[in-house]
Amino acid sequence: MLNTQTLLQKLDFWLRYPDYLADELLNEFERSREPVLLEFAGRILESEEPELRAIPMLRYKFGAYEPLDMAMSILATSGLVVVRSTRTETRVREHHYYLTQRGRDTARSAVTDFPQLGWYGQRTKLVVALAQGTGMSGTALRRRQYLQRDYAGTGIGEEFASIADRARLRLDVLKSAVEV
């Protein structure tokens, strides 16, 4: 279950922009010095993943955003997810997203039939593990993503640009420093 649309949007951003995810892993490595973080970032940046897996998102007032109504309604109509909302008299206060058993079974079946889809499950686990360091709130992730200068500098209504080249240079510098 995910409790807020903000959280879903922020997790989705790191899934759709592997270069930003890798750069954030490098930030975590600089803080913790855990070699596995450098290794994960290296796997992403030393491959073509940032170029091949990127799915553009637009920046809106509160960061990366994509309308979810159509996608969620298709999934809900098929019985794969349940979407509930907490409301006040004037607005939706919070969205809650639940993956149903049918949704789990469908995802497992899809990965069995098309093993290359397993990448999404693996990458989602990495994104969630990184996000848990912030307490898993959408607001905390939004603040964290805005610390990234290229993210914050993207104009409203514009697509986020790749930072793969800069992140690869940064990876090289960090790996060189570790080897010394």
pLDDT at 69: 85
Quickly state the pLDDT bin for 46 (edges 50, 70, 90): very high
Structure tokens at 1: 């279950």
Q: Is the pLDDT of residue 29 over 70?
A: yes
Confidence of residue 1 (pLDDT cuts 50, 70, 90): low
What pLDDT is recorded for position 180? 60
Is residue 28 within 8 A of residue 124, CB to CB? The reply is: no
List the chain domain ranges: 5-169
Query: What are the helix (H) ranges across 64-117?
Result: 69-77, 101-113
Mean of per-residue pLDDT scores for the chain: 92
Cβ neighbors of 55 (< 8 A, separation 6 or more) are: 16
Cα separation, 144 vs 137, whole angstroms: 11
pTM over 0.85: yes
Distance CA 155, CA 44 (A): 26
Would you say residue 92 has pLDDT above 70? no
Question: Rounded mean pLDDT of 78-99?
Answer: 84
Query: Distance of CA 59 to CAs 4, 25, 52, Å?
Result: 18, 22, 21
pLDDT tens across 121-179, in order? Answer: 999 999 999 998 777 788 889 999 999 999 999 999 999 999 999 999 999 999 999 88
Residue 88 pLDDT > 90: no
Task: Give the pLDDT score at 90.
Answer: 79
